[in-house]
């Protein structure tokens, strides 16, 4: 797989921009984005557990060490606090670190480094010490992994001042958003939906917006993936594809659903969120994380604040349950499925004011 992608990327390393549309998996799109970032920025470094010779457990960094050497793409010890602590030191020395936490649940041992150092250093130094760190986190469930290998930590990261948080939903978004994130002087937590790594889709290299929005505008903007008029489904990461499936099924019954991919979970594009819900006048937020204090609560509040006078029903949330993220066979019961999302839509559409 990777040889063809890396050869294609190598042909563009002379500065010639890529053109046209290619069918890539999300894993391939991320690999290509990293390849181009490394080629363009000699201060960019990619590292993490098994990221070097093996190419990562999901092969996102496959072939990059052979191309750029062990000084720029390298393996680390099994110590997440050390990986993120080293990223701080490298940022102080002028490098742009792109570390990988091998699985989302492995980020917990590095919370001190992420929250107390990476997120605060620029503020603490009064702007003299930026933290250009793009933290890649294979995230969410859907692959039947064991405990601590499937988590949904977006609310935790989004709550921390100083961090930006983004989650792509398809290969096109993955390529453009990762390249954009790796050009920022700020720390960005890049949450990659593991269950979507092998799903193929079109990547448009001629997209007008650096973050993939065909309409241009703010690179931090949310994106309408399917236009509709009866209700807005708001989602991110792997749940966007599921919501698109739901919208197709609802259309068979004459229900026209709009699907909004939030993309950036911090900062949230409040204007796009409000514009969509003002049009449809109803909203359902879908995410894998537990319900209580999940990011869906923040999204629901933003919708209510901006659209209170136009809403026809309270904002509904369809989420994971308030239990530890399960492993294996219980995962299908935990992650919002098509039926649960459809029931959420039904509750909103049938809502009657007292």
Q: E strands, the chain, where?
A: 21-25, 44-48, 73-75, 96-100, 134-139, 164-166, 188-193, 200-204, 223-226, 231-235, 257-261, 264-266, 283-290, 316-320
Residue 91: closest CA among 54, 118, 55, 59: 118
Residue at token pair 């807005």: 232
Active-site annotation holds for 159: no
Is there a contact between 44 and 37 (Cβ–Cβ < 8 Å)?
yes
* Gap between the Cα atoms of 341 and 233, Å rounded: 9
Backbone angles phi, psi at 262, to 5 degrees: -65, -30
Q: What six digits make up the tokens of 108?
A: 């917990």
Please list the alpha-helical segments (H only) found in 69-188: 80-92, 111-112, 121-124, 154-158, 171-181
| Side-chain half-sphere exposure of 297, counting CA atoms within 13 A | 12
* Gap between the Cα atoms of 100 and 135, Å rounded: 6
Q: Given its phi and psi angles, is residue 271 left (phi above 0), alpha (psi -120 to 50 degrees) or beta? A: alpha
**In angstroms, what CA-CA distances link 104 with 22, 25, 140, 193?**
29, 20, 7, 10
Question: For 174-194, b where at least 16 C-beta lie within 10 A, e where not — what string?
Answer: bbbbbbbbbbbebbbbbbbbb
Is there a contact between 339 and 289 (Cβ–Cβ < 8 Å)?
no
Residue 314: closest CA among 271, 277, 273: 277
Of the residues 96, 148, 149, 159, which is catalytic?
149
Residue 53: closest CA among 65, 38, 69: 65
**Which residues are designated catalytic?**
149
């Amino acid at each position: 797989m990777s040889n063809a992608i890396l050869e294609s990327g190598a042909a563009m390393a002379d500065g010639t921009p890529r053109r046209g549309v290619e069918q890539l998996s999300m894993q391939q799109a991320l690999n290509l984005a990293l390849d181009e970032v490394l080629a363009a920025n000699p201060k960019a470094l990619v590292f993490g557990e098994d990221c070097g010779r093996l190419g990562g457990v999901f092969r996102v960094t496959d072939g990059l060490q052979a191309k750029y050497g062990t000084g720029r793409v390298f393996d680390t010890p099994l110590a997440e606090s050390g990986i993120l602590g080293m990223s701080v030191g490298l940022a102080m020395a002028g490098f742009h670190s792109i570390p990988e936490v091998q699985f989302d649940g492995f980020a917990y041992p590095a919370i001190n480094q992420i929250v107390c150092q990476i997120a605060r250093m620029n503020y603490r130094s009064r702007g003299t010490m930026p933290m250009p760190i793009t933290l890649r986190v294979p995230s969410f469930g859907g692959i039947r992994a064991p405990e601590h290998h499937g988590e949904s930590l977006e609310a935790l990261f989004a709550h921390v001042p100083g961090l930006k948080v983004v989650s792509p939903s398809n290969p096109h978004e993955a390529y453009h958003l990762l390249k954009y994130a790796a050009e920022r002087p700020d720390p960005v937590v890049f949450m990659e939906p593991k269950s979507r790594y092998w799903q193929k889709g079109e990547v448009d290299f001629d997209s007008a917006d650096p973050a993939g929005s065909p309409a241009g505008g703010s690179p931090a903007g949310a994106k309408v993936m399917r236009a509709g008029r009866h209700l807005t489904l708001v989602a991110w990461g792997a749940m966007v594809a599921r919501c698109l499936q739901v919208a197709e099924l609802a259309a068979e019954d004459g229900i026209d659903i709009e699907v909004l991919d939030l993309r950036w979970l911090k900062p949230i594009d409040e204007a796009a969120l409000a514009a969509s819900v003002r049009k449809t006048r109803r909203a359902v937020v879908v995410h894998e994380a537990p319900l209580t204090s999940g990011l869906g609560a923040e999204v629901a509040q933003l919708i209510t604040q901006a659209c209170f006078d136009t809403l026809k029903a309270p904002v509904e949330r369809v989420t994971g349950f308030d239990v530890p993220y399960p492993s294996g066979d219980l995962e299908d019961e935990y992650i919002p499925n098509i039926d649960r999302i459809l029931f959420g839509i039904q509750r909103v559409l049938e809502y009657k004011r007292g």
